[in-house]
Amino acid sequence: MTTCVYSYEIPDLSRPIVHATKMSPSGELRPFVPQPATPQEIIGRQIDEIITYAGTYGMGGPGFFGLRLGEDWLIIALWGAASWMTCRGRLVEDWHFDSSGRPEPWVNATDGLDLLNRALAGQTVETIEIAPRAMHIVISGGFDLTIAEDPRERPAFAGNGQPRAFAPEDDLRRAVFLSPTTELWV
């Protein structure tokens, strides 16, 4: 099973769905084939907002990670991406930090605490490196967003204890892209 390659559709806002609900698109869906992000598109841009719940399949969401950079969203299209990622060595999101003895994450969905938005909003992307199995984004103010190359440096999945590892056919470079919206239907 692949971890980070999906087919996407996005709403065509010129063709809105009048009676849209939370489980339906806001506009008629059209195919979206994102191109991998390049450093030239990202470096020097200001971060306006961060979300850990981009993407949808109608009944829920894959939990893609998104940084709003003006009108664009830099999307990291991994299922539960924030649980793979650290900032300053601390997990961005971690549903089981208390039972595993790990430090509280930047975003604690249990109590609604989001320290990451407070820290990164207004900061600038200084560098971005994306490899097939790792990512490192350096952000002004001494911040970073990192997906470690070694799966042993990521927390294991709570349900089965297996490491958060990429499938052999995965290439993270294809899962990091710019999007006009976070309403990505997979």
What pLDDT, in 10s, does the model give residues 81-104?
999 999 999 999 998 888 888 899
How many Å apart are CA 31 and CA 181, to the nearest integer? 13
Q: Do the domain assignments include residue 92?
A: yes
Q: What is the pLDDT of residue 170?
A: 92
Size (the chain), residues: 186
Q: Do the domain assignments include residue 82?
A: yes
Q: Which of 149, 123, 151, 153 shows the shortest CA–CA distance to 138? A: 123
Q: What is the pLDDT of residue 1?
A: 41
Q: Do the domain assignments include residue 69?
A: yes
Percent of the chain with pLDDT over 90: 72
Q: Do the domain assignments include residue 127?
A: yes
Q: Do the domain assignments include residue 130?
A: yes
C-beta atoms surrounding 177 within 10 Å: 22
Q: Do the domain assignments include residue 2?
A: no
Domain around 149? 8-179
Q: Which of 11, 53, 57 shows the shortest CA–CA distance to 30? A: 11
Distance, CA of 66 to chain centre: 5
Q: Do the domain assignments include residue 43?
A: yes
In the chain, the number of structural domains is 1
- Helical residues (DSSP H) of the chain, grouped into ranges: 39-42, 97-100, 115-120
Q: Which one has a higher pLDDT value, 154 or 3? A: 154
The residue written with tokens 């979206």 in the block is 32
Residue 58, pLDDT above cutoff 80: no
Beta bridge partners of 128: 137
How many Å apart are CA 56 and CA 61, to the nearest integer? 4
Q: Tell me if 92 sits within 8 A of 139, measured CB to CB.
A: no
Phi-psi region of 53 (alpha: psi -120 to 50; beta: other; left: phi over 0): alpha
pLDDT digits (tens, 9 = 90+) for 96-155: 888 888 899 999 877 777 999 999 999 999 999 999 999 999 999 999 999 999 999 998
How many Å apart are CA 105 and CA 21, to the nearest integer? 31
Q: pTM, whole model, 2 decimals?
A: 0.94
Average pLDDT over residues 171-183: 96
The residue written with tokens 């990512």 in the block is 135
Q: Do the domain assignments include residue 115?
A: yes
Residue 73, pLDDT above cutoff 70: yes
